[in-house]
Amino acid sequence: MKVLANDGVSQSGIDALTAAGFDVNTTTVAQEQLVNFINENTVDVLLVRSATTVRKDLIDACPSIKIIGRGGVGMDNIDVEYARKKGVHVINTPAASSNSVAELVFAHLFGCARFLYDSNRNMPLDGDTKFKNLKKSYAKGIELRGKTLGIIGFGRIGREVAKIALGIGMKVIASDKFVGNATIKVEFYNGQFINVDIKTEPMKDVLKQSDFITLHVPAQKNYVIGKKQLDMMKKGAGIVNAARGGVIDEVALIAAIESGKIAFAGLDTFEEEPTPAIQVLMNTKISLTPHIGAATNEAQDRIGEELASQIISILG
């Protein structure tokens, strides 16, 4: 059985598949050459992340494919239902990267609350000549402890975000169309833990009550956060999107930041990837990362191992 990991897979995933008798190829094949490569090499399993798309034409043109695997959560780059109708298994790893994304959310929150994203740009330029000026500029940071974090989308990642928030003393409220309540287990040293029950609330209430908003929803046809929703938020609130590009109206976000309604934003995903809008990239009150939510060594190991386990279960 042949596996093409077109967007890469961790060594632990390769080792697990190889040990089970699979031939793993990690060559990155250009999208336009993918059909020919799959057919010439009789590929049984196609593994992708976000770079490669698997649409109806590829599925129809490659009858050897038995499994399409997505290393990560969202599968909007795969025609999932069509593939399944054609008898192709479609798998993903919804839990593997949750902690990594949650930690990135707090990297943005801490960095924005204390202006780290901006001071790290300006200290190398002016730290030796304008130290006192910079100190004054960044002297009005805020603490996260005691603040209210609103989580829009309370699935696996949203709940991991809640764990961290509770652990550092934040108040947590959440909204989700499909989740009514959830028990968050916050673990401590030596086996100790506490359970916190969180009942979800209407989104408008979460927007109005929160000091910070973080989004954990799948790709949508329409904006989840547009001008109307931004207007509902507290003056001086912050917002983080480490979910999907297009869930925030970036034009409305920039306007809200420039008016002072929103204090800052942290963005890991963008409406236009891989070429985000220059107005977003150059805004001095936006903390930026290039879609790296799941890009930790630990998450990639979990993703590779989980994909391998599912593949072996189906074809082994």
Helix (H, G, I), strand (E, B) or coil at 152: strand
- Confirm if 311 and 67 have CB atoms less than 8 A apart: yes
Residue 55 phi, psi dihedral angles, 5° rounding: -105, 180
Cβ burial of 214 (10 Å; 0-12, 13-18, 19+) is buried
Give the pairing of strands 67-70 and 89-92.
parallel
> Which of 143, 187, 258, 272 is the catalytic position?
272
Catalytic residue (one of 244, 271, 302, 305) = 244
User: Under 8 Å CB-to-CB from 135, ≥6 apart: which residues?
Assistant: none
User: Assign residue 190 a region: left if phi > 0, alpha if psi is -120 to 50, beta otherwise?
Assistant: left
Contact 52, 11 (CB under 8 A): no
Annotation says 244 is catalytic: yes
Catalytic residues: 244, 272, 291
